[in-house]
Amino acid sequence: MVKKNLFPLVSLNFFTKNRDNLKKIVLVGGAFDIVHIGHVNHLKKAKSMGDTLVVHITSDKRVREKKGPGRPIFSVRQRALLVSSIRFVDYVFIYNGRHYDPQVIKKIRPDIIFFNREAYSGEIGEEVKKIEGFNGRVVVSREKKMNSTTKIVETIKNGNGETPHLETNHDKENFKN
């Protein structure tokens, strides 16, 4: 088991120097704009597949391009610090591209790249397989999407009183007496 790093926000160069000490790496990426239980469950599942969980936080610019004006809600640094505080996240890095970009994969050399169902497509899988030197696996979560930051933002803006909520098996497991 990897000991929790006291300063988990690192640069990509960190992995070039330290890769051999990190054992089995699982790489996950996302905006993590308003962190919710769906994010936590996704990260927990990713961690269960390896020794070291590395999380890519999408830059403000890229989130804005993808989600539109008014996003992200929180700055990239705030999002990175929040995600890094989750106990099973070992390292966090900020990057303007995608977590499966060739230059990221070449530096981190993950054993597993973990995607949620909504973010994954066959095209992404084929793209990753073509990355020179990538010998890992692409794993896609089977979990149904529980929540989304976009839905949470819409609920807050509309003030319609609806709470985006869906109980999952993870909820039941985490709160057993």
- Structural domain count of the chain: 1
pLDDT band at 124 (very low <50, low <70, confident <90, very high): confident
pLDDT band at 46 (very low <50, low <70, confident <90, very high): very high
99 and 92 Cβ atoms separated by less than 8 Å: no
pLDDT score for 54 = 97
- Structural domain contains residue 153: yes
**149 or 122: which leads in pLDDT:** 122
Task: Supply φ then ψ for residue 141, to 5 degrees.
Answer: -60, 145
Q: What is the value of pTM for the model shown? A: 0.81
Structural domain including 40 reads 12-172
State the CATH number of the domain containing residue 55: 3.40.50.620
pLDDT score for 37 = 86
Please name which of 40, 9, 44, 61 lies closest in space to residue 149, comparing C-alpha atoms: 40
